């Protein structure tokens, strides 16, 4: 499912009076809130759905696949998602 399909699903869930714009605004509000929560608290937990959490990757040695030369890969951060047991059970 992509973003356009998700907006369409939200519009259907909101009912026949809901506009596509209202569905897009709802999705933007949810995603924006999750993003702010991750930046502020480093973790957003939605009971029954899952947890978004900042994950740190340490600096490490790597190899340039083209030349085979050793290179240093800088430390970085990414966002991880862990599905709740309720969500997993429903799959």
How much is the pLDDT for 8? Answer: 93
pTM of the model: 0.76
Q: CB count, 10 Å around CB of 11?
A: 19
Q: What is the rounded distance in angstroms from the CA atom of residue 8 to the CA atom of residue 28?
A: 13
How much is the pLDDT for 85? Answer: 94
Q: What does the pLDDT average to over 61-80?
A: 94
Q: What is the rounded distance in angstroms from the CA atom of residue 31 to the CA atom of residue 10?
A: 13
What is the SS3 assignment for 46? strand
Q: What does the pLDDT average to over 4-28?
A: 92
Q: What is the rounded distance in angstroms from the CA atom of residue 25 to the CA atom of residue 33?
A: 12
How much is the pLDDT for 79? Answer: 95
pLDDT at 16 over 90: no
Average pLDDT for the chain: 94
Sign for the pseudo-dihedral over CA of 72, 40, 34, 87: positive
pLDDT at 80 over 90: yes
């Amino acid at each position: 499912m992509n973003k356009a399909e998700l907006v369409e699903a939200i519009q259907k869930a909101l009912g026949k009076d809901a506009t596509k714009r209202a569905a897009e605004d709802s999705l933007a509000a949810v995603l924006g809130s999750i993003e702010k929560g991750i930046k502020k608290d480093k973790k957003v937990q939605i009971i029954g759905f899952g947890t978004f959490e900042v994950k740190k990757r340490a600096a490490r040695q790597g190899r340039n696949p083209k030349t085979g030369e050793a290179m240093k890969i800088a430390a970085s951060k990414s966002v991880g998602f862990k599905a709740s047991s309720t969500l997993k059970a429903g799959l």
